[in-house]
Structure 1
Amino acid sequence: MENRTLAAAGAILAAMTVIGFIDQYIRLLADASSLWTFHLLRTAMMWALVLGWLVLAARGIRVVRWRGVLARSALMSTAMIVYFGALGFMPVAQVAAGLFTAPIWVLILSVAFFGQRIGAARILAVILGFAGVILVVAPDPAQVSPFVFAPVVAGAFYALAVIATREWCRDESALVLSMGIFSFMGLWALGGIAVLALAGETGGFLGRGFVPPTATVWAVCALQAGGSLLAVILLTRGYQLAEASVVSVFEYSVLATSALFGFLVWGETMGPGGLLGLALIAGAGSVIALRGRRVPA
């Protein structure tokens, strides 16, 4: 399949700008709602949008390979549940830095499972990239806890889903793959609500079951529904246009957009260590992309 790297990069850059903005407002839900309520409402809204469009356009949804779509949806939804859970107690830029270890994970997994050959330059890039993530996610070693590395786990699942997009789902439409993810996230929400109803709620963003939505919750969910649908369609299309190990580097742009919108919306700033970490991550991604165009690296 021919790679259309420029078109893929444009789609991913646009998606990252949307995500960097809309995710700033998840923190408004931490005190007023729950992770499970948010995902349930957002999934319902997204299906309403999609079904309305399908009716108006007189179109349908056709799945080519159910197994591939279901497996990819399970992987990506797991990554997103961990990601949004972390947004309840961490700044967007920090969570994004952990999640977007995905391009590094893509390279590692491509070597492990698909036999891709890499050289010293990209090995060093992987090491520097993870060092950058540590600087961004855990700038104060005295306050490090296992929970701050949850976004890195999300990044690993995200990487598996990215590879699955290219290997198992290249013939699926962007709409099918997008709604597969959000449908699974709706199932996660129902499961979380059911478990908490049986086991008892513990409070907080993760420990509450269904919470009747306020006007603010409705507004954030609506923003997320429209923005997320657009972003995931753009991302899916980007990964269908070119090889994951090459194009994935452009997802690093979310680090810049998250930091920018974090400053514009909330007045958040990053210290020298965090800025160095972002630079290391961006540099590692650039090396991975540039060396990935040569064989061997």
Structure 2
Amino acid sequence: MSMTQAGNRTMAAALCILGYAVLIGFVDNFVREIALIGGLWQFQLMRSLMAAAMMGLLALPLALRLRPVNFRAVAARSLAHGTGILIYFGSLGFLSVAQASAGLFAAPIFVLLLARFYGHRIGMARLLAALVGFVGVLMVLQPGAQSDLDWRSLVPLAAGAFYALGNVATREWCAQESAATLTLGFFIVLGLAGVLGLAVLAILAPPVPEGAAGFLTRGWLWPGPAFLGWTLLQAVGSMLAIALLVTGYQIAEASRVTIFEYVLLPVVAGWSYLLWQEPLSLSAAIGIVLIIGAGALMVLRSR
């Protein structure tokens, strides 16, 4: 592939990741509303059922290819990605959002390490961009500012590792698959996890705190209009966002694309300000500048 082609594909991948960040950053801001009235496992199950139903209805008119070319590869990739997201959500039961997110956004570092196993040259520019972006992430999130760090803070790093494996697998294992196939596989894994989580909670019947504190341990409840509405918004937004994410990782090398995922944090911060009037600190503003600089460095180097 020529340098011009590599640059064009990297730019197209960057636009896909930006679209993903705008969509997922918007809908994820409303998870706080779902957490007040529902549980994580019911939410994952119902969101997955809604997304799968919509994809089934749209498959024929939009000529979506849902059948996998390589079932084992799609299943493994979906399991890796789904496991990362579930560990992230699960860690919210005992860590702050800042601590959990800092672990998940270590994924670009893991992607660079995994890319070496597939013979990809990393180069100092990509390594520098990943490190600069991660420093920006830490400045935005400031993990440890709300509570002392202990061994539990390492749990979200496992989420970042599995998430990175799923991102690498998107191109290395599933390059011939359609974005629709991989998106559906992702939701199937999360839906099955929802069923398993609800079954475990039904057996154990743990005490459930009121409000958002009970998000992780709340079992099945009869869904009301608010829960169904917020979950439907999540299903539509995340379905489109994951499709864009998959496309980005399919059209360019994972070690190039992963840097652009850092843009999710400033986008989420922007939506939080617009929707909830949550202001940014000076540290967070500097962190966002570093994140944008890391992405810009990748685009310039790919050209």
- Say whether the fold is shared (TM-score over 0.5): yes
CA distance in 1, matches of 2:153, 2:285: 18
Match of 1:29 among 27, 31, 34: 34
Alpha-carbon deviation of 1:6? 2.6
Specify whether residues 94 and 215 from structure 1 end up closer, same or farther in structure 2 by C-alpha distance, changes over 3 A only.
farther
Specify whether residues 178 and 139 from structure 1 end up closer, same or farther in structure 2 by C-alpha distance, changes over 3 A only.
closer
The answer (yes or no) to whether the contact 1:132–1:281 under 8 Å persists in 2 is yes
The answer (yes or no) to whether the contact 1:245–1:289 under 8 Å persists in 2 is no
Alpha-carbon deviation of 1:157? 1.6
Match of 2:283 among 273, 278, 282: 273
1:186 aligned partner: 191
CA distance in 1, matches of 2:296, 2:287: 14
Match of 1:164 among 156, 169, 179: 169
CA distance in 2, matches of 1:126, 1:176: 29
Alpha-carbon deviation of 1:263? 0.5
CA distance in 1, matches of 2:74, 2:128: 34
Match of 2:23 among 15, 18, 21: 18
Alpha-carbon deviation of 1:15? 1.3
* Sequence identity (%): 44
1:114 aligned partner: 118
Residue by residue, what CA displacement relative to the aligned partner does 1:197-235 show, whole Å, maximum 9, x if unpaired?
A: 112223211111212222211111100111111111111
Total equivalences in the alignment: 291
Alpha-carbon deviation of 1:75? 0.6
1:74 aligned partner: 79
Moved more, 186-195 or 240-249: 240-249
Calculate the aligned-residue CA RMSD, in Å: 2.8
CA distance in 2, matches of 1:262, 1:12: 19
CA distance in 2, matches of 1:31, 1:136: 25
CA distance in 2, matches of 1:243, 1:289: 13
Match of 1:133 among 131, 137, 148: 137
Residue by residue, what CA displacement relative to the aligned partner does 1:210-267 show, whole Å, maximum 9, x if unpaired?
A: 1222221111110011111111111111111111111222222212210100011111
Alpha-carbon deviation of 1:67? 1.2
Structure 2 residue runs without a partner (length 5+): 209-213
Specify whether residues 153 and 284 from structure 1 end up closer, same or farther in structure 2 by C-alpha distance, changes over 3 A only.
farther
Specify whether residues 148 and 134 from structure 1 end up closer, same or farther in structure 2 by C-alpha distance, changes over 3 A only.
farther
Alpha-carbon deviation of 1:46? 0.8
The answer (yes or no) to whether the contact 2:170–2:246 under 8 Å persists in 1 is yes
The answer (yes or no) to whether the contact 1:96–1:254 under 8 Å persists in 2 is no
CA distance in 1, matches of 2:239, 2:20: 10
The answer (yes or no) to whether the contact 2:21–2:267 under 8 Å persists in 1 is yes
Amino acid at match of 2:142: A
1:237 aligned partner: 247
Residue by residue, what CA displacement relative to the aligned partner does 1:77-124 show, whole Å, maximum 9, x if unpaired?
A: 112223344668755x8765543332232112223x234444555555
CA distance in 2, matches of 1:119, 1:58: 40
TM-score by length of structure 1 reads 0.85
- What SS class does the counterpart of residue 206 from structure 1 fall into? coil
Alpha-carbon deviation of 1:192? 0.6
